[in-house]
Structure formats: C-alpha cells, structure tokens
C-alpha cells in the first residue's frame, strides 16, 4: 500500500508534468528512466529518491517544496485535479503578459462569485 506522502508527491508530479506539456515518455527520457517508472512515481507506488526529485525539479522548473505543498491540507488528500483544469493551467502558463494573467484570474473569480 503506497504511503500517502508518496501518493501526494506523485499527484504533484503528474500535475506539473501536464502543465509543462510533457508526456510520461518525454519526462522519462529526460530523467533516463522508462515511462513505466514515471507512471509508478505518479501513482505513488514507487517512492522518488532525493536525487531523482532534484533532477525532476530542474527539468520541470519547480522548487522541491512544490511537491510537498498542500501535504498537510486534509481537504486536498481526496481531491483530484481534472484533465480540463490542468489543460487550463497549462494554457494560462503560456501567457507571457503577467497583467493579462492577473486580469484573467480576476475574471474567473468574479464569474465564480457571481459579481
């Protein structure tokens, strides 16, 4: 049975990999491992060693803390980010102009609150 921390880190890996537009195969190639190993990391069935985590951070351009953000937030344990939400995040990340990003986020918040 996978440890909850390994599952959380795996979900975060999947999230950032998709946001960066990488397949499991592409990430595996950059890490020098198979896509099956990436799958196991993402499911939390295999633990990610510290040196491998460091390599992932460099490839995916995230700090190590990214993988542990929200770990103590029990409301996130059962939450799964949908593919559509990840695609939206990926497209938002492609926008270069920070003001456009900020305005888009304000628009989304206003829409969701009905104001």
More confident: 90 or 11: 11
Helical axes 24-31 vs 50-60, angle rounded to 10°: 120
Mean pLDDT of 9-23: 94
As a whole number of angstroms, the distance between CA 22 and CA 12 comes to 14
Which domains does the chain carry? 4-81 (1.10.260.40)
Query: Could you read off the pLDDT of 25-46 as tens digits, one per residue?
Result: 999 999 999 999 999 999 999 9
Which two structure tokens, joined as six digits, stand for 48?
A: 């990610």
């Amino acid at each position: 049975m996978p440890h909850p921390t390994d599952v959380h880190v795996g979900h975060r890996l999947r999230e950032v990999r998709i946001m960066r537009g990488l397949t499991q195969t592409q990430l595996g190639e950059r890490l020098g491992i198979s896509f099956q190993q990436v799958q196991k990391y993402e499911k939390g069935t295999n633990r990610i060693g510290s040196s491998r985590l460091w390599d992932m951070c460099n490839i995916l351009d995230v700090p190590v803390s990214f993988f542990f953000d929200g770990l103590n937030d029990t409301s996130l344990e059962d939450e799964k980010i949908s593919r559509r939400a990840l695609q939206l995040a990926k497209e938002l990340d492609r926008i270069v102009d920070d003001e456009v990003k900020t305005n888009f986020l304000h628009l989304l918040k206003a829409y969701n609150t009905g104001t």
